[in-house]
Amino acid sequence: MSEVKVALLGFGTIGYGVYTNITNEQNTIQNVVKQTVKITGALIRDPHKERSIAKDILLTTDFHELLAKEKPDVVIEAMGGIEPTLTYIKDALNAGCHVISANKDLIARHGKDIEEIAKANNVFFAYEASVGGGIPLIRTIKELLQFNHIEQIEAILNGTSNFILSYMRSEKASFEDALEIAKAKGYAEPDPTNDVEGYDPFYKAMVLSNLMYGAQPHWEDVFVEGISKVKTDELLLAETLGFRLKQFVSINDALQVSVGLHFVDNTHPLYGVEGVDNAIRFKAKTLGFLTLQGPGAGANATSSAIIEDLVSFYTKEKVVPEVPKQTRVPENAERPTSTYTLLFTREDCCEKLVDILQENGAILQRASSPYGSALLYKTHGTPTYQLLAQYAEDVALYSAHVTNEQLYTRTKEVISTI
């Protein structure tokens, strides 16, 4: 039986997960691809560190030795970062190796150039694991694009943030305590900045924008909001109104992209997406709505997506549809705005604010709890944050856009919180 030789760039959590799953599921993979899959080597940083790996596998700190000693058919990049990772990927493609990567930062910046190099060398570059964890998201989009036009998506694309928000609400925990639990479970990195400040889902949004529309908006014009300033009391108070807070990636075919915090009620398909799960809701021209959900964090979710890419190289013809090229990239994108506002305030301020708001709109819902007071309010003209600017120290405002499908979105409108 012929053999598929695989080299790993990086042998940390993801690299080891790929090695373990390929080793443990060798018979299953062999039955599908009709070949033996053999890991021939791994690029490592510390040659003195003890590792649980077969003795016949080359461990080296020299990338060129990894390619030269036993040329791999497939290189799996699991080291992260931009350089020297980008150079290694290009060298592997130019050497005639297929490449698989989970590096959303690198792919967001250089994915189109990498795909051109792969095409020129008649090899494949795959990146299913870069977005959506274990959800077959990239593959689904490529298949949809063969006929459908994707008009917009709403997605939860960071399992760490989703876990933290879920844990804060369900356990009445602080952000700091929830983050420590996420680290202990292996869902958050030692430096969690990319996850909790929204950069990770931003990079994923850029990957999807390129894939779906062939272009990206200007990065500096994309509204990005993390979760580090979310208060537990806000989550618990919103729950009394029937809302849950999610961090959404929103993308549409006008290249309008945002990463923001959204309140959704139980009519929304992503309301019940909890823990480390990711989910995405497509709106396609012919198909209509489609929702996918699955694990979005952890070594198994990522390694599963990587191995699916590996298997796909040897089981079917790769169909990569040409995506439409946008000629207009919107500039000076504004934050999402809405005539609906979810307002949080202290109980002693509530009556005063009600009087002001009733002169300019309609209060749809009101709730009081040990965590404070909340109003769901519809503006008739002047934006709520302008009406209440003088009370910025006493209130926190959140817009809650309501579409025909009763989907609620939320973005921050003022500077201060309770």
- Beta-carbon contacts of 84 under 8 Å, excluding residues fewer than 6 positions away, are 63
Q: Is 344 within 8 Å of 237 (Cβ atoms)?
A: yes
Burial class from Cβ neighbours inside 10 Å (0-12, 13-18, 19+) for residue 401 reads middle
Strand order in the sheet with 3-9: 58-60, 36-43, 3-9, 74-77, 98-101, 125-126
Q: Is 286 within 8 Å of 159 (Cβ atoms)?
A: no
Active-site annotation holds for 49: no
CA 37/CA 86 separation, integer angstroms: 25
- Least Cα distance to 389 among 363, 355, 415, 410 occurs for 415
Q: Is 48 within 8 Å of 40 (Cβ atoms)?
A: no
CA 7/CA 72 separation, integer angstroms: 6
CA 38/CA 56 separation, integer angstroms: 11
CA 32/CA 288 separation, integer angstroms: 33
Among 142, 204, 246, 412, the one annotated catalytic: 204
Distances (CA, A) of 131 to 255, 295, 376: 18, 11, 34
Q: Is 301 within 8 Å of 289 (Cβ atoms)?
A: no
Q: Which two tokens stand for residue 159?
A: 């399992």
**Residues making up the chain, counted from first to last:** 418
Q: Which residues are catalytic?
A: 204
